Amino acid sequence: MMIELSDVYKTLDGRKILQGLNLSIREGETYVIIGRSGTGKSVTLKNIIGLMQPDRGEVKIMGQCISQMSKTESYEIRQKMGVLFQSGALINWLNVEDNVALPLTEHKRHLPKSEVVEIVRQKLELVELSHAGKRMPSELSGGMKKRAGLARAIVGGPKIILYDEPTSGLDPVMSNQINDLIISMQKKLGVTSICVTHDMSSAYRIANRIGMIFEGKIIEEGTPQEIKNTQNPIVKQFISGSTVGPLTQ
């Protein structure tokens, strides 16, 4: 398994968020996590990238338990992961190019400047932001921030990409362009991805498997077709967006 969470518990501010979460992501697959707002989807991603530690349970990346890694090992693993944060998380005082270049210039990667410029140029082209490289984050629309965040997530040539709500706030055409980009990252580069989304049409389009978080656990997982045909009333209500059902009692 590429990513494995076993029996992960996390309490935040006295609230039990993750309560025995299990998740196994295979190499090369795109796994979509769905679930209501506040159920711990972003918290799950933070436990995978090591921004948060589980209270109990284990997170393994490429077979290695992250809590048992040395500083160097966790740094090396972190280099293999690209993350698109929910907010885009651009640094306000750096322009788009410098934001995208960050994973290449931080710490001690000794890449020649010309190479960095070229890689950044390619990634900006991929997300259709070639014209906006010199702009500051405050001068970007929401969709442009997302795309800049995406360019930064893929700039280091990651093996694993974590996407938190990559299409929220984007118009339908741009959403599909992002979906296609996620699919092409998988096809062309063979990356393993986890994507958190509320957008079911995007989930069905990009996912190999979809898993739903409810009360701190994955309550159901399966292929898009299996999820569409689910008999679980909670999943059924969520994917149809119905206001009547177990989620709103």
Ligand X SMILES: Nc1ncnc2c1ncn2[C@@H]1O[C@H](COP(=O)(O)OP(=O)(O)OP(=O)(O)O)[C@@H](O)[C@H]1O
Helix (H, G, I), strand (E, B) or coil at 159: coil
Contact between 149 and 94 (Cβ < 8 Å): no
Within a 10 A sphere around the Cβ of 137, how many other Cβ atoms?
19
Stretch that binds ligand X, among 9-17, 179-187, 221-229, 233-241 (CB under 6 A): 9-17
Instruction: Output 39 or 202, the one with its CB closest to ligand X.
Output: 39
Would you count residue 30 as binding Mg ion (CB under 5 A)? no
Taking alpha carbons only, the member of 147, 148, 78 closest to residue 107 is 78
By a kind-dependent CB cut-off of 5 to 8 A, residue 17 interacts, out of Mg ion, ligand X, none, with: ligand X
Instruction: Output 74 or 168, the one with its CB closest to ligand X.
Output: 168
Q: Which of residues 62-121 bind ligand X (CB under 6 A)?
A: 86
Instruction: Output 35 or 166, the one with its CB closest to ligand X.
Output: 35
Tokens, residue 79? 């280099």
Please, which residues bridge with residue 32 across strands?
195, 210
Instruction: Output 41 or 123, the one with its CB closest to ligand X.
Output: 41
Would you count residue 37 as binding ligand X (CB under 6 A)? yes
Of 30, 39, 192, 202, the one binding ligand X by CB under 6 A: 39
Stretch that binds Mg ion, among 34-42, 142-150, 172-180, 187-195 (CB under 5 A): 34-42
State the burial class of residue 69 (Cβ atoms within 10 Å of its Cβ: 0-12, 13-18, 19+).
Answer: middle
Of 2, 43, 174, 206, the one binding ligand X by CB under 6 A: 43
Helix (H, G, I), strand (E, B) or coil at 105: helix
Of 38, 169, 233, 245, the one binding ligand X by CB under 6 A: 38
Neighbouring C-alpha atoms within 13 Å toward the C-beta of 148: 31
Say which DSSP state 248 is in: G
Contact between 183 and 17 (Cβ < 8 Å): no
Instruction: Output 94 or 219, the one with its CB closest to ligand X.
Output: 219
Stretch that binds Mg ion, among 14-22, 60-68, 80-88, 235-243 (CB under 5 A): 80-88
Instruction: Output 12 or 189, the one with its CB closest to ligand X.
Output: 12
Contact between 36 and 78 (Cβ < 8 Å): no
Would you count residue 42 as binding Mg ion (CB under 5 A)? yes
Would you count residue 241 as binding ligand X (CB under 6 A)? no
Taking alpha carbons only, the member of 197, 124, 189, 140 closest to residue 167 is 197
> Residue 228: CB partners within 8 Å, gap ≥ 6?
204, 239
Stretch that binds ligand X, among 30-38, 59-67, 102-110, 178-186 (CB under 6 A): 30-38
Question: Contact positions toward ligand X, by CB under 6 A?
Answer: 12-13, 17, 35, 37-43, 86
Question: Contact positions toward Mg ion, by CB under 5 A?
Answer: 41-42, 86
